[in-house]
Structure 1
Amino acid sequence: MKTALFDTWTDKYDAWFETPTGRFVRQYESALLLEFLNPLPDDSILDVGCGTGIFTQDVLSCGAKVTGIDLSVPMLERALIRAGNASYSGLCADMNALPFPDNCFDKVYSMTAIEFADDAGRVLAECNRVTRRGGWIVVTTLNSLSPLAEQRTKKAQNGHDLFQQICFRSPDDMRLLVPEKSRCKTAIHFQKNDPVSRIPELERIGRENNLETGAFLAVQWNKA
């Protein structure tokens, strides 16, 4: 089951973001999330598939009130510890059937979770349902156009348990799943084995040229 799989990746997930390259990944992914989500003080925000709360922490630091949901109890427990005394609550729940009424959050976001969903359209519909009218939804995923996706696909073919569960999507794939009036942008324009000293330059070049081949893909739309 995917739940059990995620339980075993709690420590590995956090450890990756503590590596020199992982720190840059977190920095650039968080920057794009915050650009699209624009969390404001006292915003009520839902984090769908919060994992260990690494990115939840960045949203909380803006003064927002965040509710996180995840299928994995170990990951959710780590998120609760990481949040400390911040305005955060977490519960174990399925993103295919969010346990909240319609129009109850100012904003909703999901960080690299939709690629594990069996029905991405249903998840996006649920995110849209629980967002108030006029609120923003931001969904990020792993970009099928990136060299990293090709590498992970090969690892899946060789038996990598996590990557066998992933569905990679391109910017055009995501545009077909969300409302027509949406924004789309990618980040992480460097490779895992690139020299750490070159990462800022490579990311700057990708950003300035609006490349759609970055490994991290974000879409944003407003609930009409």
Structure 2
Amino acid sequence: MAVFDNEANSYDAWYESKLGKFVDKVEKECAFELFSPRKGMKVLDVGCGTGNYSIELAKMGCEVVGIDISDEMLDIAKNKAKENNLDIEFYNMDVYNIKFDDESFDAVFSMAAFEFIKEPEKAIEEIFRVVKKDGQVLIGTINKKSAWGELYLSEEFQKNSIFKYAQFKTLDELKKLKSNYLVDTAECLFIPPNIDEKDISMEKEKDLSNMERGGFICVLWKK
């Protein structure tokens, strides 16, 4: 999809900044507190983008398949996997029409992609179709009801960024999806987006966790 293709070359650059590195660290910790990868597990990474989590999962010993709707993002992901000597399959594929058989995967993992999913009920049905019985489903996304959600919903971001195409969710909205299979939830990214660089720390993150909503939320289901 062209709109995401235009973001591909600059997407990873933000994660090289101090704030970007911190965000990546706390989001990964949040996800893997809930999600339990094991060696040999076959995992589908939905909305894999430039392969950040596909690579992380592969390094943990998982057999990873990444799907995304941006060829440019996928090209970068393929190159990064090759540079890391990792055997990861990447496909241009839509979450609403996942071209794999029923119960093909031990788990489905999706981080920072559900922001752009307009029909979450339809997407979660397709995700559950391809995951095996007793398989894990982990979704992580920006929390609409947080300082980060407010930033991305601000007039400036809605005019000048990819987030004009986003449809942000709250934790309660995610929990209503396949609620009978819900296992656990977690929040992170309590530091605000406008924090001074010198104040970025895990200590600050922990302090704010007692008084702020997490800017990023993760939800785990078990089929």
TM-score class normalised by the smaller sequence:
over 0.9
Determine the C-alpha separation between the residues in 1 that align with 2:129 and 2:141.
Answer: 20
CA root-mean-square deviation: 1.7
TM-score by length of structure 1 reads: 0.92
Matched, 1:204 2:206: yes
- Kindly state the Cα deviation for residue 37 of structure 1 after the two structures are TM-superposed: 1.9
Pick the aligned partner of 2:22 from 24, 29, 33: 24
In the alignment, the residues of structure 2 paired with residue 46 and residue 124 of structure 1 have an alpha-carbon distance, to the nearest angstrom, of: 13
1:189 aligns with: 190
- Gaps in structure 2 of 5+ consecutive residues: none
Match of 1:93 in 2: 93
The answer to which of 157-166 and 103-112 deviates more is: 157-166
CA distance in structure 1 between the aligned counterparts of 2:149 and 2:194, rounded to whole angstroms: 14
Q: Report if aligned partners of 1:7, 1:72 keep a CA contact under 8 Å in 2.
A: yes
> For 2:97, what is the secondary structure of its paired residue?
coil
Identity %: 31
Equivalent position of 2:112 in the other structure: 112
Indicate the residue corresponding to 2:52 in structure 1: 54
Q: CA deviation at 1:216?
A: 0.9
- Residue by residue, what CA displacement relative to the aligned partner does 1:153-195 show, whole Å, maximum 9, x if unpaired? 1135751241211111111111112324331111111122313
* Structure 2: distance between partners of 1:20 and 1:64: 29
* Counterpart for residue 8 of structure 1: 6
Number of corresponding residues = 219
Per the TM alignment, residue 12 of structure 1 is displaced from its structure 2 partner at its CA by: 2.2
Matched to 2:221, the amino acid is W
Q: 1:158 to 1:141 in 2, by over 3 A?
A: closer
Distance in 1 separating the partners of 2:149 and 2:51: 24
TM-score by length of 2: 0.92
